[in-house]
Amino acid sequence: MTDKRDVNPSDLWQSNKYAKSVYETIEAASGELRDLSLKFDALPGIGHGCGHNLIAISGVATALALKATIEKFDLPAQVKLFGTPSEERDSGKITMLDAGDFKGVDVCMMLHGANADALYAPFLALDSVEVEFFGKASHASTTPWEGINALDAAMEVYTSIGLMRQQLKTDHRIHGIIVNGGQAANIIPEYTKSLYMVRAPKATQVVELKARLETIIEAAAASTGCTMKLKWGKFVKDIVTNEHLATKFEQIMNTFGLKYAPKQEQQSKPTGSTDMGNLTYAMPGIHPMFNIMNLSGIEDNGISLHTKEFAAAAALPLGHTATLRASKALAMTAMECILDPVFLQLVKEEFAKHTL
């Protein structure tokens, strides 16, 4: 084994104490660089209800297949396997991308177990915000007029968002909670904190929604006399599926006996968000979903992700069989990029045409 794992003190994410790992399958003085990403964080109280254990297996399996092929035929190519932590909580890929860890990568690929097979699942762009209002406390019965009610500001935001939803597109989302609404009913609240998430099919649409939400928050502060503080989180972008890569992956899976639903039908299924989207804005990429409960491509609507039932399915032999099948297809897709420079150029040209 010539794989190596470099974990240095400088590689530690001090804020969350994560080790940043890169597993290099082969080093070459020249040649295109392929990226294979894997996730391994589990869900609290559920376990691998998002199948990240299978994602890790698929990344390792694909990397090993490519390593063996590159070394056997002495190909001028380089493949790196990135362990990307805390997708569910902290969007680890964004931190790594911002740190330059993916610099020089030409193509990125990652598989994801699911309850259906899809190449064009519409993962939504997402941003989150922490909203704090600061007012002035006062006795709610004897001198309420001396107070500045931070809860009024928080409620005004919550209500205004509800009213705004009538004018939002059906695939746009703003949802949130009031985390701290005060400490006692007989005290005018001087402080409140709320959390909101903004989602839409495209990153540009999230930017527009964020501007509207900020206007609502500013208006609430002005009308109640409160001051405010906003803290936006990491901006998770939608996935830009490279159709040349996706088509090649589909053709290979077809030879394994799998037929996909039409693209439009795949795009109509509701999904969440993933930091893999940010990688596909930085380089060509794909994020195929594979059914861990049925090898024929038939969707199993009875088991959803982020459930204990899905976690149990992710530990079964059938799920592992599906993972290895998809891993073979991903490795063969990556080899197409290595062996066919014309194909790789088409992949890059398609990416260049995408409006970031």
So what's the pLDDT on residue 27?
43
Closest by Cα among 53, 49, 66 to 111: 53
Question: With DSSP H G I counted as helix, E B as strand and the rest as coil, what are the percentages for the chain, rounded to 5?
Answer: 40, 20, 35
Using CA atoms, how far apart are residues 148 and 189, in angstroms rounded to an integer? Answer: 8
Using CA atoms, how far apart are residues 114 and 289, in angstroms rounded to an integer? Answer: 6
Using CA atoms, how far apart are residues 344 and 75, in angstroms rounded to an integer? Answer: 15
**Domains of the chain (ranges plus CATH)?**
4-123+239-353 (3.40.630.10), 125-232 (3.30.70.360)
297, 266 Cβ separation under 8 angstroms: no
Closest by Cα among 55, 87, 54 to 314: 54
> Residue 94, SS3?
helix
Long-range contacts at 248-256 (CB < 8 A, ≥ 24 apart): 248/333, 248/336, 248/343, 249/119, 249/286, 249/288, 249/329, 249/330, 249/333, 250/119, 252/328, 252/329, 252/332, 252/333, 253/117, 253/325, 253/326, 253/329, 256/325, 256/328, 256/329
Provide the b/e sequence for 173-198 (b: ≥16 CB within 10 Å): bbebebeeebeeeeebbbbbbbebbb
Q: What is the pLDDT along the chain (356 residues), one digit of tens a residue?
A: 233 333 332 333 333 443 444 444 444 334 454 445 555 555 556 555 566 788 888 988 999 999 999 999 999 888 888 877 655 566 768 888 988 988 889 999 999 888 889 999 989 999 999 999 999 999 999 999 999 999 999 999 999 999 999 999 999 999 999 999 999 999 999 999 999 999 999 999 999 999 999 999 999 999 999 999 999 999 999 999 999 999 999 999 999 999 999 999 998 887 788 889 999 999 999 999 999 888 887 776 667 765 778 788 777 898 899 999 999 999 999 999 999 999 999 999 999 998 54
Helices 203-224 and 150-164: crossing angle, nearest 10°?
140
Using CA atoms, how far apart are residues 351 and 116, in angstroms rounded to an integer? Answer: 26
| Backbone dihedral angles phi then psi of residue 192, each to the nearest 5 degrees | -140, 155
CA torsion sign for 162, 164, 167, 172 is: negative
So what's the pLDDT on residue 61?
92
Strand order in the sheet with 4-5: 4-5, 21-26, 77-83, 32-38, 107-109, 285-286
Looking up tokens 């001028």, which residue turns up? 76
So what's the pLDDT on residue 86?
56
